[in-house]
Structure 1
Amino acid sequence: MNLDAISSLLIDHFKEIVPLTEADILSILPKLEVKVVKRKEFVLQEGQISKHMRFIVKGSLYAYYMEENGKEHITQLGIEHWWINDLYSYLSELPSRLYIRANEDTTLIQISKRHLEILYKEVPALSEFWRLKIQHAYVNLQERTFENVRSDAYTKYRKFTADYPTIEQRFPQYMIASYLGITVEYLSYLRKKHLSRLS
Structure 2
Amino acid sequence: MDFAAKLIENIREIVPINSNDEKAIIEHFRLKKLQKKEFLIQRGDISKHMRFIAQGSLRNYYLDSQGKEHILQLGIEGWWINDFYSFFTQTPAKFYVQAVEKTVIMQISRDDLEKLFISIPLMDRYFRLKIQKGYIALQERTIFRMSQTAEERYLEFRSKYRHLEQRFPQYMIASYLGVTPEFLSSVRKKLYDS
- The one of 159, 167, 186 equivalent to 2:156 is 159
Q: Greater shift after overlay, 153-162 or 63-72? A: 63-72
- Counterpart of 1:58 (choices 28, 43, 55) is 55
Is residue 184 of structure 1 aligned with residue 181 of structure 2? yes
Instruction: List, as ranges, runs of 4+ consecutive aligned residues in structure 1 with deviation greater than 3 Å.
Output: none
Amino acid at match of 1:72: E
Cα separation, 2, equivalents of 1:26 and 1:105: 27
> How does the TM-score come out when normalised to structure 1?
0.95
Question: Using the alignment, how far apart are the partners of 2:110 and 2:71 within structure 1?
Answer: 25
Q: 1:40·1:102 contact (CA, 8 Å) conserved in 2?
A: yes
Counterpart of 1:17 (choices 14, 23, 41) is 14
AA aligned to 2:125 is E
The code of the aligned residue for 2:131 comes to: I
Cα displacement (A) at 1:194: 2.1
- Paired AA for residue 17 in structure 1: I
Match of 2:31 in 1: 34
- Is 1:115 the counterpart of 2:115? The answer is no
1:98 to 88, 95, 99: 95
Offset of residue 196 of structure 1: 3.1
Alpha-carbon distance in 1 for matches of 2:25, 2:56: 23
State the TM-score, normalizing by the size of structure 2: 0.97
Q: 1:49 aligns with which of 33, 42, 46?
A: 46
1:124 aligns with 2:121: yes
Residue pair 1:158, 1:194 contacting (<8 A) in 2 also: no
| Deviation sequence 1:131-177 (CA, Å, 0-9, x none) | 10011111111111111101000100000010001101111111111
- Could you tell me how far 1:38 is from its partner in structure 2? 0.1
Bigger mean CA deviation after superposition, 95-104 or 185-194: 185-194
Aligned to 2:70: 73
Query: What is the SS of the residue equivalent to 2:82?
Result: coil
Q: Percent identity?
A: 48
Distance (whole Å) between structure 1 residues aligned to residue 23 and residue 163 of structure 2 = 34
Please give the root-mean-square deviation of Cα atoms over the aligned residues, in Å. Answer: 0.9
Q: How many Å apart are 1:193 and its aligned residue?
A: 2.0
Q: CA deviation at 1:23?
A: 1.7
